[in-house]
Amino acid sequence: MSEILVSDDPMLDPDVIAGALPDATIRTEPLPDERAIVAAGSDAAALVVDVNTPVPASVFEQLPALQIVARAGVGFENVDVKAAAEHDVVVTNVPEYCTDEVATHGLALLLDCVRKIAEYDRATAAGGWAWEEGRPVHRFPDTTLGLVSFGPIARRLRERVRGFDLDVIAYDPYVDPEEMAEAGVERVSFEELLARADHVSLHAPLTDETEGLIDADALGAMQDHAIVVNTARGGLIDEAALADALADGEIGAAGLDVSRREPPADDSPLRALDNCLLTPHAGWYSVEAREELNETVARNVAAALDGETPPNRIDPDLDWL
């Protein structure tokens, strides 16, 4: 009987996993670090983790029974995929379960920042009734949306904004210009995107190349009314530089669903800024997305334990790993 170790996270539903693997033993444990994984997983054939559970090379060295690490989500930067392959452990993810949800959430953050919805709400709830509370508000049509990375979520967001008459540009060195052109997007350099975009929406994976991509220099290169939306990974942004840029009026606003530390520290300056909208890494969530996530994780694990190649196996030879 195979043992499956599941990180203790509310987005995971061990009952769904157990339903697809009736002959397996499912154990749910808090897994905040490598030490906890090794202590709990000595007999585990499968490890199911969320983004907050780091799985470094040393885990594979110490858990010889392990056959699969199933990442419950899209990104997998918390798992050493190359080390896993060296120990004959397959790594999987769930690449498209929340594409619609995150694209919609990103658009909601953007529209909120454009129309100052949260600011109007706070002022009205406090007893006010003045359109001036949101000044300045600019027209949305005929502005430029810049997409940083052009993967599935960015592409879905591009579809979502078609009716708003935006110019859409994108920076992604891994996507051909012709492919972007077919989607109605102009491929530009990162520097050109920063200079031209009225709204910058981040969709890149977190890698050595993208860590801190939006730093003080990048923020300084943006227009002073620019809006930054991040539904990807908190590590893409230098948050201290962002807080300074927002406070000093170097950019207009930010809508963030992710942060470097989740939740942000109580004293994070981003919490106190009226022009910074924060949501609790909720962009992925819908009832349907959560069900699809758990069902896909279960299928990935079942395939690996049956000696098959899971449908969502991560290729350890990806260029950017």
Residues spanned by the domain of 23: 3-97+287-306
Q: Which of 71, 199, 233, 290 is catalytic?
A: 233
Is 33 within the bounds of a domain?
yes
Which CATH number goes with the domain that contains 72?
Answer: 3.40.50.720
Q: Verify that 118 and 91 share a domain, yes or no.
A: no
Q: Verify that 89 and 103 share a domain, yes or no.
A: no
pLDDT along the chain (321 residues), means of 10: 91 89 92 96 96 95 97 94 97 96 98 97 96 94 98 97 97 96 98 98 95 98 98 97 98 98 95 97 96 96 96 86 60
Q: Verify that 188 and 144 share a domain, yes or no.
A: yes
Q: Verify that 104 and 159 share a domain, yes or no.
A: yes
Is 317 within the bounds of a domain?
no
Q: Which of 105, 155, 199, 281 is catalytic?
A: 281
Active-site annotation holds for 260? no
Q: Verify that 8 and 35 share a domain, yes or no.
A: yes
In the prediction, which pLDDT does 321 show?
60
Q: Verify that 299 and 195 share a domain, yes or no.
A: no
Q: Verify that 246 and 127 share a domain, yes or no.
A: yes
Is 320 within the bounds of a domain?
no
Active-site annotation holds for 281? yes
Q: Verify that 150 and 174 share a domain, yes or no.
A: yes
Is 316 within the bounds of a domain?
no
Rounded to two decimals, what is the model's pTM?
Answer: 0.92
Q: Verify that 229 and 294 share a domain, yes or no.
A: no
Is 315 within the bounds of a domain?
no
Is 318 within the bounds of a domain?
no
Q: Verify that 132 and 32 share a domain, yes or no.
A: no
Is 319 within the bounds of a domain?
no
Q: Verify that 109 and 166 share a domain, yes or no.
A: yes
Is 312 within the bounds of a domain?
no
The Cα 269–Cα 244 span in angstroms is 9
- Report the number of distinct structural domains present in the chain: 2
Active-site annotation holds for 105? no
Q: Which of 262, 288, 291, 308 is catalytic?
A: 262
Q: Verify that 248 and 292 share a domain, yes or no.
A: no
3-state secondary structure string, the chain?
Answer: CCEEEEECCCCCCHHHHHHHCCCCEEEEECCCCHHHHHHHCCCEEEEEECCCCCECHHHHHHCCCCCEEEECCCCCCCECHHHHHHCCCEEECCCCCCHHHHHHHHHHHHHHHHHCHHHHHHHHHCCCCCHHHHCCCCCCCCCEEEEECCCHHHHHHHHHCHHHCCEEEEECCCCCHHHHHHCCCEECCHHHHHHHCCEEEECCCCCCCCCCCECHHHHHHCCCCCEEEECCCHHHECHHHHHHHHHCCCCCEEEECCCCCCCCCCCCHHHHCCCEEECCCCCCCCHHHHHHHHHHHHHHHHHHHCCCCCCCECCCCCCCC
- Cα-based torsion angle of the residue sequence 119, 154, 212, 318 in order, rounded to the nearest 10 degrees: 160
